[in-house]
Amino acid sequence: MTLSDRPNLLVTGATGQVGGALLETLAALGNVVAPPRSEMDMGDPASLRAAIRNVGPRWIVNAAAYTAVDRAESEPELVFAINAEAPRVIGEEARALGAAVIHFSTDYVFDGSGHLPYRESDATGPLGVYGASKLAGEQALLASGAASLIFRTSWVYGATGKNFLRTILKLARERESLRIVADQHGAPTWSRDLARLAAHVIKRCERVTGEAPGDPDGLPQVVGQVAGIYHAAGTGETTWAGFAEEAIRQVRRANPGLALAEIVPIPSAEYPTPAARPQNSRLGGEKLFNEFGYTMMDWRHSLALVLAELG
């Protein structure tokens, strides 16, 4: 296969944690194109449409999102433009091109009630602007008629970018103790695991497309058969305090002489924020495994790999 024969894969949000991992992971599958904001503004539908048409992608992997949960409460118009309107535009353009879409969503579409992992069919009920905008984005993409796969995830982190783990590791070297919320339950998800999931799904769909007799351009039909919402979060569960404690435990084991803060578990009520957080962010991954044979990594395992990468 020559370079010109390779399909174009358009990645949005390439400067983010998941987007950056996608650039590396998808490179073997085609020409990965990630236009800068000057050429593809997620908050500007005309700019987004023009970029998609210029690239002519076979796959659009949308990792772009407005994720500043607290700030979102004060600028809902921008939040909905990026998290809800942009997925609608992506869906419309993908349908016109015959392209397929992978879109990442969030546990924040739920209200966090209960103690069991959420299934894809469970009722949604976002608590704030961010969650409401992401739910609207899911609905807009599905309504567009595009062949699309939506992966809801939670507590994303990695060795790069701004995230809870890197913040905790920095503060743990500067302070004697850290007060961390211990009544919000979920699972940390490695950004690279999400990128690997995207690659796995693309390869699987392309293989089925190639095996479809007399239908060499049947990607929308193939993806359409498995289209919909899937939960894709790290396996196992913990709390934010538990995540911090395990990270510090692993770092101490590798660096016995290193002075690090003690974690002090606290209730959410002692750490008020402008936007409410779901207390239950558990996401069940059975549907993902049953359809694609993919199991997300246990959060402790991925944590060890990320800490090794951080050195």
Residue 139 CA to residue 137 CA, distance in Å, equals 5
- Burial (CB count <10 Å: 0-12, 13-18, 19+), residue 36: exposed
Tokens standing for 45? 């539908």
Residue 300 CA to residue 25 CA, distance in Å, equals 22
Distant-in-sequence, close-in-space partners of 299: CB < 8 Å, separation ≥ 6: 187, 188, 189, 190, 234, 235, 236, 237, 238, 243
**Is 130 part of the annotated catalytic residue set?**
yes
Nearest to 10 by CA among 66, 58, 65: 58
Tell me which of 66, 130, 157, 230 is the catalytic residue. Answer: 130
| Residue type present at position 116 | L
- Give the residue numbers marked as catalytic: 130
